[in-house]
């Protein structure tokens, strides 16, 4: 019969033998941090860091869940055969973002229902709806990335320092391919409207 001391030692050794620092084979891998980029956008003399991979012409437009005016989750389908303009803005409550949205709203009115224009920001849907109502925005669909910023990160346009989105304009064809992209370097500046509208018109002409 083992002494109490010998029994305790045996239990201790047994416990040590069954303890392992090796994670189980089915353990979930650690989530990787998204890439970051500097030197792309700034506000006057203040540089900003963008979170997410860079998007380029010829890429398939990434998508992620957004919230509409009714707070319902909406995931845009960029490959449904419809040409689109996607406006990415820091906030509709700023003069430049408001001008950008109103300009494309007027231009889209002349192109008919075959073209969809989206404006995406991290404003709450209530603020987006208020802006659109106050300015007669009826051809631009506002969608909010407030919940997680996942859409902005998938496009590489999430600003690390402010948690807002950078300013950009993308034209996407019916297959979901980016045919035109401008990321505005200085956030207070407006985008170049003419090249974006020309790229969109080319898609409309092709579809007719």
Q: Specify the 3-state DSSP secondary structure of 44.
A: coil
What distance in Å separates the CA atoms of residue 181 and residue 184, rounded to the nearest whole number? 10
pLDDT at residue 17, rounded to an integer: 37
Q: Considering only CA atoms, which of 141, 99, 134, 103 is closest in space to residue 120?
A: 141
Q: Which residues contact 159 (CB under 8 A, 6 or more apart)?
A: 41, 48, 49, 50, 51, 90, 165, 166
Mean pLDDT taken over the chain:
87
Q: Are 166 and 48 in contact (CB under 8 A)?
A: yes
- Residues assigned a catalytic role: 97
Q: Which of 151, 178, 173 is nearest to 89 (CA)?
A: 151
Residue 120: in which H helix or E strand, if any? strand 116-121
Mean pLDDT along residues 22-35: 64
Buried b (16+ CB within 10 A) or exposed e, 19-49: eeeeeeeeeeeeeeeeeeeeebbeeeeeebe
What is residue 159's predicted lDDT score, i.e. its pLDDT?
98
Confidence tier at 20 by pLDDT (50, 70, 90)? very low
Instruction: Say whether domain 48-207 belongs to CATH 3.40.30.10.
Output: yes
Tell me what percent of the residues of the chain surpass a pLDDT of 70.
84
Counting every residue written for the chain, the total comes to 208
Per-residue pLDDT, averaged over 65-86, amounts to 96
Question: Where in the chain are the domains?
Answer: 48-207
Tens digits of residue pLDDT in 30-60: 668 889 999 999 999 999 999 999 999 999 9
Q: With DSSP H G I counted as helix, E B as strand and the rest as coil, what are the percentages for the chain, rounded to 5?
A: 30, 25, 45
Q: Is the pLDDT of residue 68 over 90?
A: yes
d(CA 180, CA 86): 10
Give the separation between CA 10 and CA 65, rounded to whole angstroms: 56
């Amino acid at each position: 019969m083992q002494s109490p001391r010998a029994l305790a030692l045996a239990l201790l050794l047994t416990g040590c033998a069954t303890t392992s620092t090796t994670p189980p084979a089915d353990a979930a891998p650690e989530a990787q941090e998204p890439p970051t980029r500097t030197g792309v956008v700034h506000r006057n003399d203040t540089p900003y860091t963008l979170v997410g991979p860079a998007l380029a012409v010829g890429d398939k437009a990434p998508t992620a869940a957004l919230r509409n005016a009714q707070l319902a989750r909406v995931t845009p389908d960029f490959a449904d055969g419809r040409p689109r303009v996607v406006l990415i803005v820091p906030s509709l409550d700023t003069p430049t973002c408001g001008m950008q949205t109103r300009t494309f709203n007027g231009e889209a009115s002349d192109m008919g229902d075959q073209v969809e224009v989206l404006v995406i920001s991290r404003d709450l849907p209530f603020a987006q709806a208020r802006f659109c109502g106050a300015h007669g925005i009826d051809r631009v669909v506002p969608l909010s990335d407030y919940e997680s910023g996942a859409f902005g990160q998938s496009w590489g346009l999430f600003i690390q320092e402010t948690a807002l989105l950078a300013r950009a304009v993308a034209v996407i064809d019916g297959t979901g391919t980016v045919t035109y992209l401008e990321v505005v370097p200085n956030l207070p500046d407006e985008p170049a409207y003419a090249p974006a509208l020309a790229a969109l018109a080319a898609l409309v002409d092709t579809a007719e």
